[in-house]
Amino acid sequence: MKVYFHEIKDAELAYSFTEDTPWVMEVIGALDERMDRIQRPPNWRPRSRPTEVSFTLRRVDDLIHVSGKVKTQLNLLCSLCADGFQFPIQMQFHTLLTQSEIYADVPRESSHQTATGFEPDEDEEDEDEGPALNLSASDFEITLVDEPVANLKDILNEQLVLILPMQPKPDLDKNGDCTKCGKQQIAMMKASTEPLKENPFAVLKNFAQKDTGKKPTS
């Protein structure tokens, strides 16, 4: 879904979506992991799951402030046992979009956050006075866009990719065992006990050239 910059005013523009929104489930389902996933079949459809996605867009000078919340789950593969498990997501994020090149060299730091619950923004607690945004480049990620468009599909995908774990796994118990399959992380990473083959060139270090008694020819 695309929202053009000229549609975004000083007042907040809000959108809400659920698992009934096809493009939302397409983004989420594309991040699911499967052992046999080499290429998705033409008739592929993402698995449905309870999902809540919301966006709020607001213009601040030549910047478009995009904030959002996501509540869903991904189907990932455990890095310990390769079994599938459900990875819950409940997050909020902020980002800035602009076409102005004056921000091209500004240091950027993502304000992306994950949490077990949503915490209201301090600036949004008093709705009567309206959100007072004190924006700075160090507080938000600034993205330069080629077209004056806020592509909500791309933004959702980027924010979900940011929170994907490098080594996904369910919760571990106090012994370090997987709470789903009971396997231990240390056992899955144990080095192979197969003995190393002897280096065929090792004998060269003890090699001594025999004296044949022949003098070198001139």
Enumerate the H helices of the chain as residue ranges.
22-30, 152-163, 185-188
Residue 148 carries which side chain, given as an amino acid letter?
P
Crossing angle for the helix pair 152-163 and 22-30, to the nearest 10 degrees: 30
pLDDT tens for 47-82 read: 889 999 999 999 998 899 999 999 999 999 888 777
Is 176 part of a structural domain of the chain?
no
Let me know if residue 177 belongs to a domain. no
Q: Is residue 200 part of a domain?
A: no
Q: Give domain status of residue 70, yes or no.
A: yes
Q: Is residue 211 part of a domain?
A: no
Where in the sequence is the domain holding 111, given as residue range(s)?
Answer: 2-170
Q: Please indicate whether residue 204 or residue 99 has the higher confidence score (pLDDT).
A: 99
Q: Look at residue 21 in the predicted model and tell me its pLDDT.
A: 96
Return d(Cα 133, Cα 69) in angstroms, integer.
Answer: 18
Number of domains in the chain: 1
Contact 153, 3 (CB under 8 A): no
In a domain, 194, yes or no: no
pLDDT of residue 131: 45
CA gap 178, 176 in Å, rounded: 7
Residue 193 inside a domain? The answer is: no
Q: Within a domain: residue 107?
A: yes
Which has the higher per-residue pLDDT, 101 or 4? 4
Q: Please, which pLDDT band fits residue 117 given cuts at 50, 70 and 90?
A: very low
What percentage of the chain reaches a pLDDT higher than 70? 60
List the beta bridge partners of residue 75.
Answer: 86
pLDDT grade for 200, boundaries at 50, 70 and 90: low
- % of residues, the chain, pLDDT over 90: 37
Q: What is the mean predicted confidence (pLDDT) over 192-208?
A: 56
